[in-house]
Amino acid sequence: MESLKQVIKGMIPNLATDQQYWINYFENHPELKELISKYQPEDQTVIGSLNTFYQYIQEKANCLSCSSVAKCSNLLTGHYSEIDYINGQFQVRLIKCSRQKQVEDDYYKKQLFRTQYIPSEILNASFKNIEQTSGRQDALTALLEFCARYSANQKQKGIYLYGPLGVGKSHMMAAAANKLAEKKIPSLMIYVPDFFREMKNSIKDNSFNEKIELLQKVQVLILDDIGAETISQWERDEILGAILQARLVNNLPTLYTSNLDFDNLEEHLAYSNKGGEEGLKAKRLLERIRHYTVPYFVDGPNRRI
């Protein structure tokens, strides 16, 4: 291969001072020797494929020293080259590396677990990292069973976690949402008090119906800290009532966290921010929660202190 020098000159740095090293490198590289021995190509085919060989060798070396996708030095980030021999020609085939697959998988899971107004420290919650105290055990078991059993278009009761402040109810729900994401099941977790505040503003920017529809149709909805809001009759009946009714009709489960048990939540919903009391409407709304969820009391020390 007398023309090998000329071909390599155009692509290998420092060739002028180390010609023989690079010629020997390509001619004696074990994997290239194996490819050439296997397919017995003509010399011109080998010479015409040197760029392909060089890319393959360099990217393989890059992968061996790579620590993250962000530091990938390959031609296409998160991919490495393989060489195929097709119709008498050597061709590069790009393969997605395991780190890139993990990055994409993590991103996809984040798209499945959407949140509104939830503190960032909660978002990465995992059952593996939640302490299984006696006050949490029943609730954790129920959430794990819910995630394991859940299947789209199959009727399933939701879960209602209630108990004192700071015992980890929100973390447990976020862990459930992340577990569902592993099964490619989308969920939405919202902090109820802030959600109602936003809905008042959404009337002005014409996004009200779009936001209501999102909560009505997401496969699993998590209402965090229901009962902590100051609610009006309109918010109770036209927002919360409409959301829960649509979800019941479509057999979509709703999960809740609250500081209030069912009876206290009903009492809370009966009082509007104008001081009025509407026990019957509150009772009707509470029935959509009580009969379609299983309640679990969560106890323990306040971890926010």
**Segment 160-217, tens digit of pLDDT:** 999 999 999 999 999 999 999 989 899 999 999 998 888 877 766 667 888 889 999 9
Residue 101's CB is within 10 A of a number of other CB atoms, namely 12
Q: What is the pLDDT of residue 2?
A: 47
pLDDT bracket for residue 58 (50, 70, 90): confident
Q: What is the pLDDT of residue 108?
A: 64
Q: What is the pLDDT of residue 19?
A: 60
Q: What is the pLDDT of residue 1?
A: 45
pLDDT bracket for residue 9 (50, 70, 90): low
The class level of CATH for 103-297 reads alpha beta
Residue 23's CB is within 10 A of a number of other CB atoms, namely 16
Mean pLDDT check: name the lowest of 130-134, 170-174, 291-295. 130-134
Residue 68's CB is within 10 A of a number of other CB atoms, namely 9
pLDDT bracket for residue 97 (50, 70, 90): very high
**Token digits for 21?**
């090293």
Per residue in 29-49, pLDDT tens? 888 888 888 888 887 887 778
Q: Domain map of the chain by residue range?
A: 4-96, 103-297
Name the residue among 293, 67, 53, 43 with its Cα closest to residue 160.
293
Q: Hey, what long-range contacts does 148-154 have (CB within 8 A, 24 or more apart)?
A: 150/180, 150/183, 150/185, 150/220, 150/253, 152/185, 152/219, 153/251, 154/251
* Residue 120 and residue 169 in contact, taking contact as beta carbons nearer than 8 Å: no
As a whole number, mean pLDDT of residues 132-139 equals 94
Q: What is the pLDDT of residue 216?
A: 94
pLDDT bracket for residue 14 (50, 70, 90): low
* Residue 24 and residue 1 in contact, taking contact as beta carbons nearer than 8 Å: no
Is residue 271's pLDDT more than 60? yes
* Residue 211 and residue 138 in contact, taking contact as beta carbons nearer than 8 Å: no
Is residue 15's pLDDT more than 60? no
- CA-CA distances (angstroms) from residue 267 to 155, 180, 229, 241, 260? 28, 32, 13, 16, 10
Name the residue among 303, 16, 22 with its Cα closest to residue 168.
303
Is residue 25's pLDDT more than 80? no
Q: What is the pLDDT of residue 11?
A: 59
- For the chain, the average pLDDT equals 86
Instruction: Give ∠ CA 81-87-88 in degrees, rounded to 5.
Output: 80
Name the residue among 266, 271, 273 with its Cα closest to residue 295.
266
Q: Which residues contact 243 (CB under 8 A, 6 or more apart)?
A: 212, 215, 216, 221
Residue 4's CB is within 10 A of a number of other CB atoms, namely 17
pLDDT bracket for residue 6 (50, 70, 90): low
